[in-house]
Amino acid sequence: MTIPALELNDGHSIPQLGYGVFKVPADETERAVSEALEIGYRHIDTAAIYGNEEGVGAAIAASGIARDELFITTKLWNDRHHDEQPRAAIGESLEKLGLDAVDLYLVHWPTPAKDDYVHAFAKLIELREAGLTRSIGVSNFLVPHLERVVAETGVTPAVNQIELHPAYQQRDVVDWATEHGIRIESWGPLGQGKYDLFGTPAIAEAAAAHGVTPAQAVLRWHLQRGFIVFPKSVRAERLRENLDVFGFELTDAEVASIDALDPLDGSGRVGAHPDDVN
């Protein structure tokens, strides 16, 4: 199976579907990532705050897969934005992952109350120039945060990883990112099970029409919208199911029906608001 790759604004490319290890327990991570790699995943998304980078690294080392076939993302946590902390932080992450460099390093949250996210991103530019990460980006940034980063550093992030699912599509952020060549990565792509996503007629009907599960229909919607997506599971059968989304295509009408599930008033958010995480 060939997972499509999307080109980033820095010339590198990224697999459009990967495996996310948010909330995967540290003692389960090596097994889960090993299974994901065996099934065919090549894009792994972790973060320092997840506490499971060692497990990801152990699975990579045991896999025997060539480094250039893998795409590994990790993230800078909120208390490491200042001074030279980003360099120390990526050093710690690389040691845990057993890597010389990651493919993508993200500022995890803008932490606007501290007003240090521009400095943090400026330090990521230095880390990229030092060869410690191939691409750099941000996560959970809203339009004002993106505008400041680009204006004050002169560098456009390669990606913005944001909460995005049918009930919460962040269209203003997506539109700004698209206009400026920033790829959108969807976290919580299935709504984290916090609302009855699969019971909505638009998704149930699309799934039935293509003989797939509701989860597969939603993941297919993300892919057709051009988003990068990495659903999380610790069950091998679900890992296989989440990867099996390239043999069908939603119709324009089905995509439009799922698009219409966003109430547009922000009420569909299931995670924290970026202005509140500091």
| Catalytic center residues | 50
Separation CA 49–CA 224 (nearest Å): 30
Residue of 219, 208, 277 lying closest to 246 (CA atoms)? 219
20-38 burial, b at 16+ Cβ within 10 Å, e below that, comes to bbeebeeeebbebbbbbbe
Give the residue among 20, 23, 80, 70 at the shortest CA–CA distance from 232: 20
Cβ distance 81 to 114 under 8 Å? yes
Q: Quote the CA–CA distance of 175 and 219 in Å, as a whole number.
A: 20
Q: Please, which contacts does 22-26 make with residues 24 or more away whose CB atoms are closer than 8 Å?
A: 22/47, 22/50, 22/187, 22/232, 23/50, 23/232, 24/50, 24/52, 24/55, 24/232, 24/234, 25/52, 26/51, 26/52, 26/54, 26/55
Can you say whether residue 188 is alpha, beta or left, with left for phi > 0 and alpha for psi between -120 and 50 degrees?
left
Rounded Cα distance, 169 and 2, in Å:
27
Two tokens at 30?
A: 């090596």
